[in-house]
Amino acid sequence: MNFYNMVDQNRFILTIVLIFLCVFLILYIIRVKKRQNNIHFEEIEVPANIWFYSVLVNMQIGIEKPSYQRLHDCFSNYLYKRYSINKQEIQKSNIYDLIRSKEEKEDMLELYGEIWNSIEDLKDKETAEIIDYIKTIKFYFNKDGMVAWMSARKYNKETNCNNC
């Protein structure tokens, strides 16, 4: 009985506290949702395929923790870097349409679609299954562009003259 009297006497204060708690909870949920949908662009200085290959190797050998979210973010960053997609383009159109407009090879589009869908299937999988999938796709990204990148890097090292 004593508790009910106290609640009855402080009804106004309790109502205000409840309203603030509800507003705080709603703002917190909105913030978390925005963070989930936010695109994380990573600055990549090497060619995209070599960067993504190195991330896959790091996940495979345990330097980086393999997770669905990290794999998804890295693959998205690979596509953004590979096709020079910026934040403004993503806001205007979706990633599939942007890549389709920039990629001429149909087999590459199919490969990206398969990888994207396979990564989505890994959402609730164990770490061992993610590592097994990484082993199956990593060789796709260890191929083109490395010779040109290495020669450009060698040229930059020779012309900077750090030993002068």
- Domain range annotation of the chain: 48-137
CA 8 to the chain's CA centroid: 51
45-49, 76-80, 107-111: range with lowest mean pLDDT: 45-49
Q: Across residues 25-32, what is the average pLDDT?
A: 88
pLDDT of residue 156: 64
What percent of the chain has pLDDT above 90? 18
For residue 26, name the pLDDT band (cuts at 50, 70, 90): very high
State how far the Cα of 141 lies from the Cα of 49, in Å rounded to an integer. 5
Angle at 70 between CA 106 and CA 68, to 5 degrees: 80
CA dihedral 75, 80, 82, 85 (to 10 degrees): 160
For residue 19, name the pLDDT band (cuts at 50, 70, 90): very high
